[in-house]
Structure 1
């Protein structure tokens, strides 16, 4: 497999959906707690990216096998394994190597912190693997938006923040001889949750836009996603309202003192996002308008990070 094929197989450009939540977690850590643990963050970043690439590869691998089963010799799809001639054997080896790296680094992080990281990592591992694998993959149910948004938009910032505050009393799972203890600060958890809502919504909308554009093709291969159940019109409305909810929670976060006042500058991105929403409302074609959801997330994410980070200067 050459570099171009690998980049396509793991869809490297889409990793912005992991990088932006990670950076936001770093910025919030500096704002709220005043410092970060560089070593933990580097280890986590590599583990996060390799696992993200692995789950994308699994998705493409499983989709390719499923599409071959349905179309057989008539298959002429856009799957990167078909386009770049990646054999199933090479595809599996690539997935195995990426998962191995992610798991080893996750174990190292657990040793450096505590069992909470192992627990969250195990849940992420389970969801990532069974998103497109197994008898009833998550991607074939109307849950893709919830899982992608929740796990990438919420858990990545949480873990990023936790890498620097693991030795505090906010969160943790510990074993002392035969005694298992856990701590979970509800107020601190709420603060982290509310600041991640714009990211959760932005990532969920990437999945939603993809499912809207692929609705007809998905039905042909037995994949029944959220737009199938609520309809295309309702899905497009939901696509729009999810963005609005994110901006509303940003304002609320500033009002109740969770985010600095400078974060209100992120509202400026709404003008660009709204313009892109109008374009998507008019046409839902994968090759033409799906990227609008990625552009919207990138724009709102970068401006959100920048506006929050200004107060650190």
Structure 2
């Protein structure tokens, strides 16, 4: 904290180092949770014959900005509650390492929310004003994940909340703004993505288990204990891969959905990366592998859907 005054006096983006500070504040490794659901929802709309590039871009940027703002709220409130320090792993570190004023981080988060709101108004104008209500609820969930008197992140419900809002709801919104309706297939296809987004939070909480426990958090990982939390993570990964198989069996997808299996090595790497590890820094490769699993799974899910569509319609 000794560099607080000097670092906060530097103008943002003056040189590469400053840019890196602000970029790390976004926690870019988590942004896959904002991109993949929008992409999958839009692909599903395309398969039904609906696609508007402007709505896709607006939804994508809004989702990424909400995710980034949520990360900034996390950075701000964890600092205020004394959870983050200079040696904390997995944070942006703008406040505790680089001396950025906490209020600057908080204001920037609300600026990002403001931009998302403007994009949301554009989306509503070209789709439905019901999206405004759903979007507002999503933004509230992002804020209260670490903000407010009873942060969701401090409870066992963080994974469920993240999976629901960043999975089912974002996929559904991305589909709805293109088509004007919701189908059962959309809900089903969003489920494995919701589970994989939950794994990102679970992995984060396994890594931070000891520190979170000392600071009074009661995350699912803490409630289960480290060993059982890793088992739970493995089960969630397993369910993510089981669901596409069930979709195929019951006629909600083609064999091309099995392309998601290309992401399995990353899931295995993530699980192995947590076993026997205690120090947070040792678990960072596992964190990276978890995020990569979500990204690669979502991309191959979309590719499988598109291949089936083109075979059915153009062969």
**Residue in structure 1 matched with residue 63 of structure 2 by the alignment:** 48
**Residue in structure 1 matched with residue 173 of structure 2 by the alignment:** 159
**How far, CA to CA, are the matches of 1:22 and 1:161 in structure 2?**
8
**How far, CA to CA, are the matches of 1:275 and 1:39 in structure 2?**
37
Is 1:309 aligned to residue 306 of structure 2? Answer: yes
**Residue in structure 1 matched with residue 24 of structure 2 by the alignment:** 8
**How far, CA to CA, are the matches of 2:49 and 2:257 in structure 1?**
17
Provide the secondary structure at the position in 2 that maps to 1:80: coil
Is 1:108 aligned to residue 86 of structure 2? Answer: no
**Residue in structure 2 matched with residue 87 of structure 1 by the alignment:** 101
8 Å CA contact 2:230, 2:271 repeated in 1 = no
Is 1:76 aligned to residue 94 of structure 2? Answer: no
8 Å CA contact 2:72, 2:109 repeated in 1 = yes
Is 1:274 aligned to residue 289 of structure 2? Answer: no
**Residue in structure 2 matched with residue 117 of structure 1 by the alignment:** 131
Aligned match for 1:148, one of 151, 162, 166? 162
**How far, CA to CA, are the matches of 1:276 and 1:230 in structure 2?**
18
Is 1:229 aligned to residue 223 of structure 2? Answer: yes
**Residue in structure 2 matched with residue 241 of structure 1 by the alignment:** 235
- Quote the offset at 1:286 in angstroms: 2.8
Between the two proteins, the alignment pairs up a number of residues equal to 287
Once the two structures are superposed, the pairs formed by residues 59-74 of structure 1 within 5 Å of their partners are 59-67=74-82
**How far, CA to CA, are the matches of 1:196 and 1:280 in structure 2?**
26
**How far, CA to CA, are the matches of 2:279 and 2:296 in structure 1?**
21
Aligned match for 1:138, one of 152, 172, 196? 152
**How far, CA to CA, are the matches of 1:263 and 1:16 in structure 2?**
20
**Residue in structure 2 matched with residue 174 of structure 1 by the alignment:** none
**Residue in structure 2 matched with residue 26 of structure 1 by the alignment:** 42
**Residue in structure 1 matched with residue 15 of structure 2 by the alignment:** none
- Quote the offset at 1:206 in angstroms: 0.8
**How far, CA to CA, are the matches of 2:107 and 2:265 in structure 1?**
45
Provide the secondary structure at the position in 1 that maps to 2:96: helix
Q: Relative to structure 1, is the Cα distance of residues 228 and 275 closer, same or farther in structure 2, using a 3 angstrom cutoff?
A: closer
Structure 2, gaps ≥5 residues long: 1-11, 13-17, 311-315
- Quote the offset at 1:284 in angstroms: 5.2
RMSD in angstroms over aligned alpha carbons? 2.0
- Map Cα deviations across residues 119-159 of structure 1 (whole Å, 9 max, x no partner): 21111011111111111111111111001111112111111
8 Å CA contact 1:198, 1:245 repeated in 2 = yes
- Quote the offset at 1:295 in angstroms: 2.5
Structure 1, gaps ≥5 residues long: 172-187
Q: Relative to structure 1, is the Cα distance of residues 217 and 94 closer, same or farther in structure 2, using a 3 angstrom cutoff?
A: same
- Quote the offset at 1:285 in angstroms: 4.1
